[in-house]
């Protein structure tokens, strides 16, 4: 029998993001300060350290010291993140707009595939957007049908850990903490590159109003 | 007078129930579609003060009192109006209390009774309207301003609600319980109404308003967070549209890599089997036992097993020969019947110069005899001639058969 601590260690070492949605027990365990120390010492043996993002909503394993091989891994990972950023952001916006409530997708958001599908079917602009998104290499859909595209996108996102399907029989997905992580990545890039993305968006809205 | 009032009230309520369809249509759509209902009905409703025309050219609308009644009874969340005119309500309470005291002093008990019931009505009306206002605010918070769709609208609604809460709180400050208790003096009924009932209501409402205010602030924070996120996403898409070749700098090569991009690679792989562990023996055996041995080696393409076309042809020549033999046997039987003599099969064979194999011929004759029904068999006598096998005991070799009539 594996202990709770061992189970969490295994999750972390297999590159998982632990949040309240994906694994509440593990998340609560890590939230307790005494437990984090125990996990931390064990991770340190393997040159890992416990990292958290989005104000302690997500935990994952990071490297403790970075030498050449570690940097290489991070480099390829970063390449992947930055190429996947645009498809993911476009998908987030599509779901937000098609959802009808104008609420961004966050950790714990419930996405009902059927509702989303009918809303996208009714609006040709959404359908076009979905088609474009599903063609990105990240999702790699070759389907010509809207349903196939949507399912493929959601399947890939579940594989990547952004979504969770609590009940295998129902087409309802939950957003995980990795989505929060994604927001933080965008925010970080926004700040470091001084892109002032929010201002750009606001300006374009105002200009749209003028037009 | 009282009787008249009663009758008029009943008449009004009857009118409301009789034309409930029409009233609900006006309530939900705002104005009346005059073409759908008869002018007579509309006119009577206007007369009774249920419908009214704000301007000469405008469409008919529901009177505010009726609308309020429906909103508060149906707990309709669209009702956003918070009516907070506590100052004037309090002033009227004080006036009524003065009337009551004066009437008592002069011994006009019937009049004082009327004033007291009026006062009671006003006090409870005030407490009810306060409770109603708080309820309206709560119901809007509870579904997070679900009646408007965009985040910006939600933020505006939230700001409106916050303004209403602070208005209500300001109005509540007008409650001066010391003044009210002086007004009530030592009259038991007045003290109960003006001090006890109002104080209870006051403390409940202030408590609830504090909660409402906290919830509103929390919601506003969340909405702002949502708006921030949406703008971030939209801004990113815009930025990528304007500069499609944008790529973030290589943060992973800095001396101090931010923890955000420091995600360790996965390293755990499944463990392997240790066959020398005694405690695992049972499980391993079970696993081995559940392995199915399949002897279906991949043999590749086998042309002889492939589906082939089957040619169905009539095998006429074989049937023909058999028929010939059968006909010959029948002729032989007929010959026996016609001649009435005993004829051996081989004699007949030679006589007619038949071309079959003699052995097959004899077989066919025996078969032909056996093939007859028992009734027909009874007409014939069949005798075999031959000798026992010299070596194998009990075997009899038939050289010929002789057929005759019985």
Structure confidence by residue, pLDDT tens digits, B108-148: 888 888 888 888 888 888 888 888 888 888 888 887 777 77
Task: Tell which residue, B166, B191, B194, B188, has the closest CA to residue B90.
Answer: B194
Q: Is B138 on the interface with A (CB under 8 A)?
A: no
* Residue B67, φ and ψ in degrees, nearest 5: -60, -45
DSSP structure class, residue A61? E
Are B264 and A10 an interchain contact pair (Cβ–Cβ within 8 Å)? Answer: no
Confidence of residue B372 (pLDDT cuts 50, 70, 90): confident
B22-71: pLDDT as tens digits: 888 888 887 787 788 888 888 888 888 888 887 777 788 888 888 878 87
Pick among B143, B219, B232, B251 to test the A interface (most A CBs inside 10 A): B232
Asked if residues B384 and B401 have their Cβ atoms less than 8 Å apart, the reply is yes
Q: Which range has highest mean pLDDT (A204-208, B77-81, B91-95)?
A: B91-95
B271 and chain A in contact, CB less than 8 A: no
- Across the interface, do A199 and B235 touch by the CB < 8 Å criterion? yes
Determine the average pLDDT of the residues in B171-184. Answer: 85
* Model pLDDT, residue A173: 92
B266 touching chain A per CB within 8 A? yes
> DSSP assignment of B5-64, as one string?
HHHHHHHHHHHHHHTHHHHHHHHHHSS--GGGS-HHHHHHHHHTTSEE-SSSSSPPEE-H
pLDDT computed for residue B319 by the predictor: 56
Per-residue confidence band for B80, with pLDDT thresholds at 50, 70 and 90: low
- Residue A174: the pLDDT is 92
pLDDT at B82: 65
- Residue A14: closest C-alpha in chain B: B266
Determine whether the interchain pair B252/A193 forms a contact, defined as Cβ–Cβ distance below 8 Å: no
B239 touches chain A (CB under 8 A): yes
Q: Closest CB to B259: pick one of A46, A51, A85.
A: A51
B145 in helix, strand or coil? coil
**pLDDT per position as a tens digit, B306-361:** 777 777 776 655 555 567 788 888 888 888 888 888 888 888 888 888 788 888 88
Q: Using CA atoms, how far apart are residues B369 and B63, in angstroms rounded to an integer?
A: 116
CB contact under 8 A, A197 and B150: no
Task: Report the 10 Å Cβ neighbour count for B251.
Answer: 19
Token pair listed for A168 = 């295998």
Flag whether pLDDT at B6 surpasses 80: yes
Look at residue B83 and tell me whether its pLDDT is greater than 70. Answer: no
Give the mutation candidate from B229, B254, B267 for the A interface (greatest A CB count, under 10 A). Answer: B229
Give the closest-approach CA distance of A202 to chain B in angstroms. 7
Q: Tokens 């859909």 belong to which residue?
A: A141
Asked whether A106 and B222 are in contact (CB, 8 A), the reply is: no
b or e along B102-129 (b: 16 or more beta carbons within 10 Å of the residue's beta carbon)? ebbeeeeeeebeebbeebeebbeebbeb
Q: Give the whole-angstrom CA distance, residue B340 versus residue B140.
A: 121
Residues B389, B395 contacting (CB under 8 angstroms): yes
Please state at what angle helix B109-142 crosses helix B86-105, rounded to 10 degrees. 160
Pairwise CA distance, residues A197 & A89, whole Å: 13
To which residue do tokens 């019931």 refer? B117
Integer Cα distance of A25 and A90 in angstroms: 32
Residue B194's Cβ-side half-sphere holds a number of Cα atoms within 13 Å equal to 31
User: Which of A17, A189, A199, A204 to substitute to test the interface with B, most B CBs within 10 Å?
Assistant: A189
Chain A residues touching residue B247 (CB < 8 angstroms) = 82
Check A86 against B236: CB less than 8 A apart: yes
Residue ranges of chain A with per-residue pLDDT less than 70: 208-211
Cα gap B332→B354, rounded to integer Å: 11
Cβ–Cβ of B232/A186 closer than 8 Å?
yes
Structure tokens at B64: 């505010």
Task: Judge contact between A134 and A143, C-beta under 8 A.
Answer: yes
- How far apart are the C-alpha atoms of B141 and B161, rounded to whole Å? 9
Which residue's entry shows tokens 């020969």?
B321
Average pLDDT, chain B: 82
Structure tokens at A83: 């190429």
Q: Which residue has the higher pLDDT, B293 or A4?
A: A4
Of residues B228, B231, B262, nearest to A62 (C-beta): B262
Q: CB under 8 Å to B194, separation ≥6 — which residues?
A: B93, B97, B123, B180, B181, B183, B184
pLDDT of residue B77: 60
Q: Express each pLDDT in B214-245 by its tens digit.
A: 999 998 988 888 888 888 888 888 888 888 88
What pLDDT, on the 0 to 100 scale, is given for residue B340? 80
Q: Residue B72 pLDDT more than 80?
A: no
- B286 to chain A nearest CA, in Å? 19
Q: What is residue A2's DSSP assignment?
A: -
Q: Do A104 and B230 touch (CB under 8 A)?
A: yes
Q: Please say whether the beta carbons of A87 and A136 come within 8 A.
A: yes
- Sheet containing strand B343-344, edge to edge, reads B343-344, B396-405, B380-388
Query: What are B144's two structure tokens?
Result: 């997070």
Hunting for tokens 């949507």 — which residue is that? A150
Other Cβ atoms less than 10 A from the Cβ of B375: the count is 7
Residues of A in contact with B252 (CB under 8 A): 71, 74-75, 77-78
How many other β-carbons are positioned within 10 Å of the β-carbon of residue A143? 13
CA distance A134 to A136: 6
Q: What is the pLDDT of residue B296?
A: 67
How close B245 gets to chain A, by Cα (Å)?
11
Partner-chain contact A14 B235, CB within 8 Å: no
Within B48-196, where are the H helices? 64-74, 86-105, 109-142, 151-172, 177-184, 188-190
**Helix-then-strand count for chain A, H and E:** 9, 5
Non-local (6+) Cβ contacts of B68 within 8 A are none
Reported as type and span, the H/E element at residue B271 is none
Q: How far is CA B22 from CA B41, B61, B125, in A?
A: 10, 11, 29
Give me the residue from A66, A77, A193 closest to B263, CB to CB. A77
Query: Cβ contact (<8 Å) for B266 and A15?
Result: yes
User: Which uninterrupted H or E stretch holds B216?
Assistant: helix B198-242
CA distance A30 to A52: 10
According to DSSP, the residues that pair with B51 across neighbouring strands are: B62
Q: Is B150 in CB contact (< 8 Å) with chain A?
A: yes
Q: Are A44 and A64 in contact (CB under 8 A)?
A: yes
Nearest CA in chain A to B145: A101
Q: How many CB atoms lie within 10 A of CB B29?
A: 10
d(C-alpha B314, C-alpha B68), whole Å? 97
Nearest alpha-carbon partner for B387 in B400, B378, B379, B396: B396
């Amino acid at each position: 029998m594996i202990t709770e601590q061992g189970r969490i260690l295994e999750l972390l070492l297999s590159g998982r993001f632990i949040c309240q949605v994906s694994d509440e027990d593990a998340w609560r365990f890590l939230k307790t300060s005494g437990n984090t120390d125990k996990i931390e010492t064990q991770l340190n043996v393997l040159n890992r350290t416990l990292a958290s993002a989005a104000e302690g909503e997500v935990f994952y394993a990071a490297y403790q010291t970075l030498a050449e091989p570690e940097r290489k891994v991070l480099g390829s990972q970063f390449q992947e993140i930055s190429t996947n950023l645009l498809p993911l952001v476009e998908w987030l916006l599509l779901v937000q707009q098609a959802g009808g409530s104008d609420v961004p997708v966050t950790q714990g958001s419930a996405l009902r595939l059927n509702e989303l599908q009918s809303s996208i079917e009714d609006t040709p602009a959404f359908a076009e957007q979905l088609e474009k998104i599903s063609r990105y290499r990240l999702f790699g859909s070759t389907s010509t049908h809207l349903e196939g595209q949507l399912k493929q996108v959601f399947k890939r996102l579940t594989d990547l850990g952004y979504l969770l399907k609590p009940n295998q029989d129902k087409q309802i997905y939950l957003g995980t903490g990795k989505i929060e992580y994604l927001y933080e990545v965008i925010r970080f890039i926004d700040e470091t590159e001084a892109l002032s993305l929010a201002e750009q968006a606001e300006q374009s809205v105002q200009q749209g109003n003028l037009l | 007078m009282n009787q008249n009032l009663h009758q008029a009230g009943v008449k009004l309520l009857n009118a409301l129930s009789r034309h409930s369809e029409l009233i609900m249509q006006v309530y939900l759509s705002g104005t009346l579609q005059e073409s759908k209902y008869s002018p007579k009905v509309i006119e009577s409703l206007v007369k009774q003060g249920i419908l009214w025309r704000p301007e000469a050219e405008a469409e008919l609308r529901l009177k505010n009192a009726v609308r309020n009644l429906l909103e508060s009874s149906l707990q309709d969340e669209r009702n956003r109006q918070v009516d907070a005119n506590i100052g004037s309500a309090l002033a009227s309470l004080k006036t009524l209390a003065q009337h009551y005291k004066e009437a008592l002093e002069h011994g006009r008990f019937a009049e004082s009774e009327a004033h007291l019931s009026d006062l009671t009505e006003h006090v409870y009306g005030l407490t009810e309207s306060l409770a109603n206002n708080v309820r309206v605010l709560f119901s809007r918070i509870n579904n997070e301003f679900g009646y408007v769709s965009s985040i910006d609208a939600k933020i505006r609604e939230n700001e409106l609600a916050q303004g209403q809460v602070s208005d209500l709180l300001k109005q509540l400050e007008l409650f001066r319980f010391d003044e009210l208790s002086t007004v009530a003096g030592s009259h038991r009924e007045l003290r109960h109404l003006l001090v006890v009932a109002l104080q209870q209501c006051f403390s409940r409402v202030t408590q609830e308003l504090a909660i409402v205010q906290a919830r509103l602030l929390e919601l506003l924070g969340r909405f702002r967070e949502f708006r921030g996120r949406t703008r971030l996403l939209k801004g990113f898409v815009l930025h990528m549209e304007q500069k499609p070749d944008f790529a973030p700098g290589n943060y992973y090569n800095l001396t101090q890599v931010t923890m955000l991009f420091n995600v360790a690679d996965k390293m755990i792989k499944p463990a392997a089997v240790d066959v020398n562990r005694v405690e695992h023996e049972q499980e391993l055996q079970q696993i081995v036992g559940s392995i199915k041995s399949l002897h279906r080696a991949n043999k590749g393409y086998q042309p002889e097993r492939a589906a082939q076309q089957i040619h169905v042809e009539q095998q006429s020549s074989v049937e023909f020969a058999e028929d010939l033999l059968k006909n010959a046997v029948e002729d032989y039987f007929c010959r026996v019947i016609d001649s009435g003599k005993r004829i051996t099969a081989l004699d007949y064979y030679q006589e007619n110069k038949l071309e079959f194999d003699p052995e097959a011929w004899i077989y066919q004759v025996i078969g032909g005899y056996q093939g007859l029904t028992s009734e027909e068999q009874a007409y014939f006598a069949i005798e075999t001639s031959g000798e026992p096998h010299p070596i194998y005991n009990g075997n009899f070799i038939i050289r010929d058969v002789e057929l005759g009539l019985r």
